[in-house]
Amino acid sequence: MIMGSIDPATLRGSWSYPTQVRFGPGRIREMARACGSLGMTKPLLVTDPVLAALPMVQAGLDANAKSDMPTGLFTQVQGNPVGRNVMDGVAAYRDGGHDGVIAFGGGSAIDAAKCIALMAGQTRPLFDFEDSGSNWKRVDPAGVAPVVAVPTTAGTGSEVGRASVIIDEDTATKKIIFHPTMMPGVVIADPELTLGLPSHVTAATGMDALAHCIEALCAPGFHPMADGIALEGMRLVHDWLPAAHADGSILAARAHMLVAASMGATAFQKGLGAVHSISHPAGAMYGVHHGLANAVLLPYVLKFNRPAIEDRMTRLARLLGLNDPGFDAVMAWILELRETLGIPHSFAEAGVPEDDADTLAEAAAKDPTAPGNPVPVDAAALKGIFLDCVRGNL
């Protein structure tokens, strides 16, 4: 009977989940073997300066050396990476005679590393490969270096993705660079590497994973595999993020959040929406951490989208065992979770002003994630959401 109300023509989709993931405590010891499985003999490890100063990076380099896998090091990746970071990394890759990339770190380091691998054998400029139209077909696939990804935070899930977000400094805008070969060949997901993550980073990255899952679930279109993964990812966040934030030494919490992050990025191949279309220019213009921006924005976007997502929020509330399952129960849970994690209620509290609302809204409307919002949005609608978020009008 239910099927009679569904147009069969909408039951269409193209799906892929091919990433090889080696998950579990201690599996960082397999890094050299993973590199060798992709044909590497002299990889370049790409990370950020803060992580490079920690023992885990030097330990990885030493272990590779003992396994006859000499490994270079590139550390000039900033939070919200820019095109210059990528091209400096490409120069280091070529000058060092490297034949593969180890993407080691959080979302910024992994995004930059994937782009370094992409650009290693290209002749066109980086932003010629922005995710727009058929730009991805400009890539010479033979010039893309293999990647082993090692996530050290549980948020972006970039380790299982086919795209990176890089700031174009000429236009001060975040751009998505995409090609199917950007997906890492092997992921080493070792939750022990995330044990030292500070609580505020745990909070922001964990909320990033939640935003990925909830926007994927709410995105229009038929993709039940992505919907199922998104729902389970949110159950993991519900059950384990507060524990990971309260006590970063709980390995089970760290492990489940690492899984939730990868699940969010897997699910959002279905689509994202206004949370990301606003947070991208907010990050580019004001330098706000991507996960934090998503965390602050999330309830304001849900409120805007409510007419289109009531049924999905009811399904989510039932899965999470919330009282009186429905939209209001989900909203109450998210607001309580944000308070527990110390997430600011408004953009103003996070240092984001409203002065450039028109500029930000125009950029958000052009962001490739905007069409995935369940309620159609234009610059005017996105400006309204942004201003509500700055002013705390929920």
Instruction: Give 366-377 pLDDT, tens digit per residue.
Output: 999 999 999 999
Question: What's the pLDDT score for residue 4?
Answer: 47
| pLDDT tens-place string over residues 138-169 | 999 999 999 999 999 999 999 999 999 999 99
pLDDT band per the 50, 70, 90 thresholds, residue 364: very high
pLDDT at position 316 over 80: yes
Quote the pLDDT of residue 321: 97
pLDDT at 16: 55
In whole angstroms, give the CA distance from residue 382 to residue 60: 44
Percent of the chain predicted with pLDDT > 90: 93
Mean pLDDT of 10-27: 76
pLDDT at 1: 34
Average pLDDT, rounded, for the chain:
94
Does the pLDDT at position 89 exceed 70? yes
Give the span between the Cα atoms of 294 and 297, in whole angstroms: 5
Instruction: Give how far Cα 341 sits from Cα of 94, 105, 296, Å.
Output: 43, 22, 11
Q: Are 51 and 109 in contact (CB under 8 A)?
A: yes
Whole-structure pTM value = 0.92
Whether 132 has a pLDDT exceeding 80, the answer reads yes
Residue 5 in this model has a pLDDT that exceeds 60: no
Question: Region 261-266: what's the mean pLDDT?
Answer: 95
| The pLDDT of residue 339 | 98
Q: Rounded mean pLDDT of 259-284?
A: 96
Q: What is the pLDDT, as a whole number, of residue 388?
A: 98
Q: What is the pLDDT of residue 18?
A: 75
CA dist 257 and 283 (Å) reads 23
pLDDT at 162: 93
CATH 3.40.50.1970 range(s) for the chain read 20-194
Architecture of the domain defined by 199-391: Up-down Bundle (1.20)
What pLDDT score does 2 carry? 43
Q: Report how far residue 150's alpha carbon sits from residue 102's, in angstroms, rounded to the nearest whole number.
A: 7
Average pLDDT of span 226-232: 97
The pLDDT value given to residue 268 = 94
**Spatial distance between the Cα atoms of 375 and 95, rounded to a whole number of angstroms:** 48
Which one of 3.40.50.1970, 3.20.19.10, 3.30.70.580, 3.40.1360.10 gives the CATH number of domain 20-194? 3.40.50.1970
